[in-house]
Structure 1
Amino acid sequence: MMMDIFSKMDSLGNKNNAENWREQYVNALGTLMAEVLKNDTLLFSPLYIVATQLKEVTTVDPLVEPLVWQCVESVLEQFPTFEQQSDFPFLIEEEAVPLFLAAMTGSLSAIIELAHFYREEGLAQWAVKWYEIAAAQQQAEAIYWLGNFSYDGQYCPFDLAFVFTSYEYAAAANFPDGLNNLADMYLRGEYVVQNDTIAFELFHRAAKLGVAESMYTLGFLYENGRGVQQDMKKSNYWYHESAVNGDLFAINKMGHQAFEMNNGELAMTWYLQAAEKFDRHGEFNVGFCYESGIGVEVDIKLAKYWYKRAALQGDSEAKRRLNDL
Structure 2
Amino acid sequence: MEITANTVAQLLEKLKLLKEEIQQVIVGQDAILDEMLVALLAGGHCLLEGVPGLAKTLMVRTMSQALHLSFRRIQFTPDLMPSDIVGTEVLEEDHVTGKRFFKFNKGPLFANIVLADEINRTPPKTQAALLEAMQEFEVTYGGQTYPLDKPFFILATQNPIEQAGTYPLPEAQLDRFLLYVKIGYPSAAEEKAILSNTTGNKKVTIQPVLNGEEIKQLQGMVRDVTISDDLVEFVSGLVRGTRPDTTPVAYVKEWVRWGAGPRAGQALILTAKARALFKGRYAVLTEDIAAMAYPVLRHRILMNFKADAEGITSDKVTAELLKQTPMAKGIL
Under a length normalisation based on structure 1, what TM-score does the superposition of the two structures give? 0.26
Under a length normalisation based on structure 2, what TM-score does the superposition of the two structures give? 0.26
Between structures 1 and 2, the one with greater helix share = 1
Q: Which has the higher contact order (CA 8 A, sep 6+)?
A: 2
